[in-house]
């Protein structure tokens, strides 16, 4: 063993960085290991930053078309270089990475480029790019190795004609047409981004509807908007085979006997935890039947001094929750108290338009309290919604029988910002009347909170003077 640390963190994505900085801030000696040159993990390289940079362009084209009634950038010429639609990508990545490096350096975290592998529960081997090998040890370990796209046997991803979420944005040209295999968040986000850029998109998956884990109102909203743009969702079908036809594109055979074809295919059929080759069996770390590292509520694995955080432990698989898990695991390892649970984490899906939710749905609140109050605002009722032609969305507020806000579901562009207001209302145990009594900036989409609150207070069974006067 060449060195001993208080903590060794494996993986420099959002989860690992947060755990590393937290331990270092407490004065501990910390080593952060990543197999790539760059810090930031999937979120910077293949995930959030590149996909949201392309999305911003798609949303802007879409908005300009609607607001001017002109065919701005539509249809984009055939063979439009994809990179030309993401000219901000490298600048955004560099800025983000510079900020992260400075933070690690400021806190004295040692950064090493190597592949880490457990030799035994107390020691890891670090294999570097030059073939060098070193053995180091630590009091605590944090596995934050993230996840990678899952490749089903029926689909041969060649990264040229059939791509996954790691390779789709390295396409040279905007595809002429696209089949998206999948119905989850990544599948739906890319389907709506390419569709808004004018690409004919077909989604196919065994689930009868896309985003089926969401409140049905929100899932239907996505489907309606996607179909409105000409997108097609084929539900209830299994993907039997997908292969390049050697001539003009990829043929996908479906279980209903039909064959669909497109220029390119995006395979977005889930993600698998990055655990292979890590020697977890030598460390006594158990992996569950879904292939994720098994953890308790403090993110301890079956080896109590080894924590696992982020995508490697499974859903919700978000950058925000990964960071928070990293912070909480570090706090536990440091013996510091852990605060409230993670139940009010907002979840935002960056389809076009956005979809967000936080807290309880109407059905969950009914189950929890035996009764529930709801109020809805349509963005078409809000001046800002009309001004920006953002009128298809809606905001639904959910309250307990005593009128405290317990949840919100929001569909429409701006949802990912509005949801934070709802999150604070839930955390502050705010009475829904507050949205009526206090004034908000006008014209803003936040006015939807007031309209939804009024809707709730004026429901047939609420005859209080305030409810009657609210409008
Ligand atoms: C297309 C796409 C869009 C997304 N959009 C969003 C979004 O809008 N909002 C959101 O919150 N989330 C989004 N996500 C999810 C988000 O990117 C992940 O939840 C997040 O990156 C997980 O963080 P992590 O730290 O657990 O793992 P990762 O970010 O995957 O980082 C893991 C790191 O571990 C390293 N590593 C792996 N094995 C080893 C080893 N043996 N030795 C050394 N290093 C190793 C890897 O190189 C990597 O850098 C998106 C994901 C994708 C793919």
Place of tokens 């960071």: 323
User: Averaged over 267-294, what is the pLDDT?
Assistant: 97
Q: Is the pLDDT of residue 470 over 70?
A: no
Structure tokens at 462: 């609420």
Q: Which residues contact 390 (CB under 8 A, 6 or more apart)?
A: 353, 379, 384, 412, 413, 414, 445
- Residue 172 CA to ligand 1 centre (angstroms): 24
Place of tokens 């898990």: 325
- Residue 89 CA to ligand 1 centre (angstroms): 17
Atom of ligand 1 at shortest distance to CA of 271?
53
Place of tokens 């839930």: 426
Tens digit of pLDDT for each residue in 286-320?
999 999 999 999 999 999 999 999 999 999 899 99
User: Averaged over 433-443, what is the pLDDT?
Assistant: 93
Structure tokens at 302: 């079956």
Atom of ligand 1 at shortest distance to CA of 114?
43
- Among 41, 164, 347, say which to mutate for ligand 1: greatest number of ligand atoms within 8 Å of CB: 41
C-alpha span between 186 and 270 (Å, rounded): 9
CA nearest ligand 1 atom 33, residue: 11
Tens digit of pLDDT for each residue in 134-186?
999 999 999 999 999 998 999 999 999 999 999 999 999 999 999 999 999 99
C-alpha span between 382 and 445 (Å, rounded): 7
- 309 within 8 A of 301, measured Cβ to Cβ: no
Tens digit of pLDDT for each residue in 91-138?
888 888 899 999 999 999 999 999 999 999 999 999 998 999 999 999
Least confident residue range of 16-30, 75-89, 413-427: 75-89
At residue 74, the pLDDT reads 67
- Residue 312 CA to ligand 1 centre (angstroms): 9
Q: Among residues of the chain, what percentage have pLDDT more than 90?
A: 81
Q: What is the mean pLDDT of the chain?
A: 93
- Residue 390 CA to ligand 1 centre (angstroms): 32
- Residue 415 CA to ligand 1 centre (angstroms): 23
pLDDT bin (cut points 50, 70, 90) of residue 42 is confident
Q: 356 pairs with which residues across the strands? A: 348, 410
Q: Among residues of the chain, what percentage have pLDDT more than 70?
A: 96
- 182 within 8 A of 202, measured Cβ to Cβ: no
pLDDT bin (cut points 50, 70, 90) of residue 240 is very high
Length of the chain, please?
471
Place of tokens 């510091």: 336
Atom of ligand 1 at shortest distance to CA of 312?
26
CA nearest ligand 1 atom 48, residue: 41
CA nearest ligand 1 atom 20, residue: 319
- Residue 75 CA to ligand 1 centre (angstroms): 33
C-alpha span between 214 and 236 (Å, rounded): 18
C-alpha span between 211 and 224 (Å, rounded): 12
CA nearest ligand 1 atom 51, residue: 47
- Residue 332 CA to ligand 1 centre (angstroms): 22
At residue 471, the pLDDT reads 52
378 by DSSP, 3-state: which? strand
- Quick one: angle between helices 89-106 and 48-68, nearest 10? 140
Write down the pTM of the prediction. 0.94
At residue 45, the pLDDT reads 79
Place of tokens 């032609």: 389
Tens digit of pLDDT for each residue in 323-374?
999 999 999 999 988 765 666 889 999 999 999 999 999 999 999 999 999 9
Dihedral sign computed on CA atoms, order 375, 380, 383, 389: positive
Residues with beta carbon inside 6 Å of ligand 1? Answer: 10-16, 33-36, 41-43, 46-48, 51, 115-116, 144-147, 165, 186, 274, 278, 310-312, 317-320, 322, 350
- Among 8, 9, 10, 13, say which to mutate for ligand 1: greatest number of ligand atoms within 8 Å of CB: 13
C-alpha span between 146 and 142 (Å, rounded): 12
Burial (CB < 10 A; 0-12, 13-18, 19+), residue 125, is middle
364: number of Cβ within 10 Å = 15
At residue 55, the pLDDT reads 96
List b or e across 320-342, with b for residues whose CB sees 16 or more CB atoms inside 10 angstroms.
Answer: ebbbbbbbbbbbbbbeeeeeeee
CA nearest ligand 1 atom 1, residue: 47
- Residue 47 CA to ligand 1 centre (angstroms): 7
At residue 73, the pLDDT reads 66
Distance of CA 235 to the CA centre of its chain: 22
- Residue 319 CA to ligand 1 centre (angstroms): 7
Structure tokens at 366: 């009914």
DSSP 316-371: T--HHHHHHHHHHHHHHHTTPPP-S-STT--EEE-SSS-EEEEE--HHHHHHHHS-
At residue 54, the pLDDT reads 94
Atom of ligand 1 at shortest distance to CA of 33?
43
20 by DSSP, 3-state: which? helix
List b or e across 427-458, with b for residues whose CB sees 16 or more CB atoms inside 10 angstroms.
Answer: eeebbbbebbeeeeeeebbbbbbbbbbbbbbb
- Residue 43 CA to ligand 1 centre (angstroms): 5
At residue 450, the pLDDT reads 96
């Amino acid at each position: 063993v060449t060195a001993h640390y208080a903590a060794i963190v494996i993986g420099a994505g959002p989860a690992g960085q947060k755990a590393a900085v937290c331990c270092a801030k407490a004065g501990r000696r910390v080593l952060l290991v990543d197999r790539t040159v760059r810090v930031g993990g999937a979120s910077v390289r293949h995930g959030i930053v590149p996909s949201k940079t392309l999305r911003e362009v798609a949303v802007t084209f879409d908005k300009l078309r609607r607001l001017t009634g002109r065919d701005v950038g539509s249809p984009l010429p055939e063979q439009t270089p994809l990179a030309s639609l993401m000219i901000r990508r490298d600048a955004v990545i560099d800025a983000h990475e510079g900020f992260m490096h400075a933070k690690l350096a400021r806190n004295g975290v040692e950064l090493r480029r190597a592949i880490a592998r457990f030799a035994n529960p107390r020691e890891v081997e670090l294999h570097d790019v030059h073939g060098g090998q070193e053995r180091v040890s630590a009091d605590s370990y944090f596995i934050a190795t993230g996840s990678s796209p899952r490749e089903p046997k029926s689909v041969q991803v060649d990264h040229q004609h059939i791509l996954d979420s790691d390779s789709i944005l390295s396409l040279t040209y905007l595809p002429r047409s696209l089949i998206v295999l999948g119905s989850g968040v990544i599948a739906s986000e890319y389907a709506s981004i390419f569709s808004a850029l004018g690409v004919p998109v077909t989604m196919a998956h065994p689930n009868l509807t896309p985003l089926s884990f969401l409140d049905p109102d929100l899932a239907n909203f996505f489907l309606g908007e996607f179909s409105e743009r000409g997108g097609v969702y084929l539900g209830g079908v299994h993907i039997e085979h997908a292969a390049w036809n050697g001539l003009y594109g990829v043929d996908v055979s479906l279980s209903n006997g039909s064959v669909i074809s497109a220029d390119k295919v995006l395979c977005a059929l889930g993600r698998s935890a990055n655990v292979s080759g890590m020697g977890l069996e030598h460390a006594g770390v158990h992996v569950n039947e879904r292939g994720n590292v098994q953890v308790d509520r403090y993110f301890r694995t079956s080896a109590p001094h080894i924590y696992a955080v982020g995508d490697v432990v499974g859903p919700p698989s978000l950058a925000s929750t990964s960071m928070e898990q990293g912070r909480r695991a570090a706090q536990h390892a440091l013996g510091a108290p852990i605060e409230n649970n993670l139940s009010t984490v907002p979840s935002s899906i960056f389809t076009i338009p956005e979809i967000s939710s936080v807290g309880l749905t109407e059905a969950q609140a009914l189950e929890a309290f035996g009764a529930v109050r709801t109020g809805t605002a349509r963005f078409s009722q809000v001046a800002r919604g009309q001004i920006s032609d953002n009128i298809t969305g809606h905001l639904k507020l959910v309250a307990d029988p005593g009128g405290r806000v317990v949840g919100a579901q929001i569909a429409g562009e701006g949802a990912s910002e509005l949801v934070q207001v709802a999150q604070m209302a839930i955390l502050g145990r705010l009475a829904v009347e507050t949205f009526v009594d206090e004034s908000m900036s006008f014209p803003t989409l936040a006015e939807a909170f007031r309209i939804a609150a009024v809707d709730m207070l004026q429901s047939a069974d609420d005859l209080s003077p305030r409810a009657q006067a609210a409008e």
